[in-house]
Amino acid sequence: MLPSRMDTQDTDPRAPGPSRDHLLTLLVSAPDRPGLVAGVAGALYRHDANILEADQHDDPGTGMFFQRIRFGIAGRGVEPLRATLGVLGTELGLRWTMRDHGERRGVAILVSREDHCLYDLLVRHRSGELACDIRLILSNHDLLAPVAAQFDIPFRSVPVTGDTIPSAEAEQQRILDDAGVELLVLARYMRILSPDMVDRWQDRAINIHHSFLPAFVGARPYHQAYARGVKLIGATAHYVTTVLDDGPIIEQDVTHATHRDSVEDLVRRGRDIERTVLARAVRWHLEDRVLVHGNRTIVFR
């Protein structure tokens, strides 16, 4: 049982009593051992934090412990809590991150020629579903510039060929740095990022692959699926790694296919899945619901 200040009168950071004007989310991972839950919850309690949500997972296969806690706290208590968690991290071997909900991440959407995932993300963002600031749309073509203009989002194009990858990625990185971007969303961006670029954006670049991984890695997965006569097609949102379409999976979904479906049918139906799968993955990342361990994720939905 987590020590907490939750009761029937104080389940909101704005409730009467001590001011808890900041809403934060804490993510924790550590080798499992006695005292972890009590240690983390006790640290929050000592700094007068009000726990609003708490979820955890013990993974017997790896011996790891994962936890997500959402809590309210007075602004003056945030930095002392960080210091306490730093000490606790050393004592208990914790890896942790803590983010204030008032801090909106800067996001860049990377695209090539396909616009269906881009439109979906922009509409969701405009409706308030994605808590972030979309700083720019970055592409290796000019084709989708009118979409960016329609939503009043800055658009930058940096052509990339096999011979220009180092210089092109250096220009892309300069643009991303200038825009204060913290998360890359590859919304059908049809270029492979270099190892240097992947390392720079480790666990901060989300890709949508138009198949139910690990099936049909690489190019033209719907054509591969049609050739195999599959009865299910799907889409996979995952973090980008140096191995093509092999990063930690955040979300997946499928729909049924039949022998009557053409490649065009599979593409059309697959686009619907791509939209929703990518949007869910981006939202969960923005809400600090995803912990990465090795090539796996723990997603607190």
Catalytic residues: 245
Q: Confirm if 190 and 161 have CB atoms less than 8 A apart.
A: no
Instruction: Determine phi and psi for 118, rounding to 5 degrees.
Output: -60, -50
